Amino acid sequence: MTAKSKSVLIVDDDEGMRDTLTAILKRDYRVLTVSTGEAALAAMKQEDVDLLLVDVRLPGISGFEVLRIVKENYSLVEIIMISAISEVETAVQAMKHGAYHYITKDFDYDALRSLVHNAAERQDLNRQVMTLSAQVAEQTEREFLIGPSRVMREIVDLVQKVAKLSATVLILGESGTGKELLARMLHRESGRGDAPFITVNLAAVPHELVESTLFGHERGAFTGAHRQQLGKFELASGGTLFLDEIGDLRLELQAKLLRSIQEGEIERVGGSKAIRTDFRLVVATNIDLEKAVKDGTFRDDLYYRVNVIPIRMPPLRDRLEDLPDLARFFVRRYNARFRKQIRGVSDAALKILSTYWWPGNIRELENLIERLVAVSDRDKEWITDEDLPFEYHFAKLDRAHVATESLYQEALDTFERNFLLKALERSDWNVSATARYLGIPLSTLKHKMGKLDIRELARKLRGA
């Protein structure tokens, strides 16, 4: 973006100062001027503003309040604060709240031009960083989602077919299967990729804050509402709103959500004005919504409204063909984070991992690889079967997950208990030596001993 294409908003109640600043900057920038903080915030909603010059002392809301609100809602906008007098405390406060710089009104003209130019350059650099981060994230998501398995290729094909439609997409699947990443791919392919992608995990938001989070609130709407707050519906305007764990939404809010979807407008908490919204809605859940409808915990009309294009993300155990690619991807990620040079996961280790049930899905695989890379020696080249925690070596039994689960678990626990007791006895009941003998982390062995009540039993046998 060239300097001339950038917009500078001058916020100062002194007309003479506004004229002076305009004269200095108009050759290189599109200059806008207002006299109050309230007018500045209104202009930000109407104009594409890149840089602000804001007087500290303004009638109405202060320059610092303008700084705070703008940085909260327009993080890329660079702001230079201006004051009639030089005060170290004021300068520190300005920088602390995100201002690019602080100057007094006796500034040198060339110095001001240079300062604004530098602020514009930093903004361009920040934009480039965000673009590169988005490109890396996009590649990351594609590697995460796309593998050799037929089921994932079919899902990606479906996403490309429906992405540009306005219809709501319902993503189903267990926790840890990558539902949010699929939602991001939908957003990226939708034609709204340059607009916001707003995500809300409804299970993570305290119940009393869900309504305000989604719809926003007016100042004074409830205790603690000291200022107006925009909700996620408004923030997602023009882009995509992703509501994760929609099955956790309370019934009364389900009705309000349904109205908002149907009418394309919302009301903030404590407000009476209808606000138009335009966004692509994607929702996700790991619960059976049909059962929730039958149980009366989820509205049937909302279910039919969101279940327009359902996409089911498969658990990892149903896409094990992708496991080697996913493991290599996570090894590369955590090599970079922990500055390691591990080449990958050995065939023997992959064979063991491919028999595991993966109750935590891809998230569990990522956590495992992160842990193994983090604790590996600097000169280690491969993650091998000996590096895998104890429980993964019994994965074949875990794959036999059937209706007689409790009987199976009891048999497995008995086998593990006897196995560990023999290993402890062989090592003279030295837990550290036993862990080394078994080739497993000491923490894993201690966890197993606690889970299987081995500590007390080992003490009795040792004293026998």
What digits encode the pLDDT tens for the residues 21-34? 999 999 999 999 99
Beta strands 280-285; 101-104: pairing state: unpaired
> 405-463: which CATH topology?
Arc Repressor Mutant, subunit A (1.10.10)
Return the amino acid letter for 259: R
| The length of the chain, given as a count of residues | 464
- The pLDDT of 141-167, averaged and rounded, is 82
**Cα–Cα dist 399/357, whole Å:** 6
The domain over range 3-127 is classified in CATH as 3.40.50.2300: yes
* C-alpha triplet 196, 198, 202: angle, nearest 5°: 175
The domain over range 146-314 is classified in CATH as 3.40.50.300: yes
> 317-391: which CATH topology?
Helicase, Ruva Protein; domain 3 (1.10.8)
Query: What residue ranges of the chain are covered by domains with CATH 1.10.8.60?
Result: 317-391
Query: What residue ranges of the chain are covered by domains with CATH 3.40.50.2300?
Result: 3-127
What digits encode the pLDDT tens for the residues 77-125? 899 999 877 777 777 777 877 888 988 888 888 889 999 999 988 888 8
> Which pLDDT belongs to residue 456?
63
> Which pLDDT belongs to residue 224?
72
Query: What residue ranges of the chain are covered by domains with CATH 3.40.50.300?
Result: 146-314
The secondary structure of residue 269, as a DSSP letter, is B
> Which pLDDT belongs to residue 2?
46
- Could you tell me which residue, 230 or 388, shows the higher pLDDT? 388
> Contact, 112 vs 120, CB < 8 A?
no
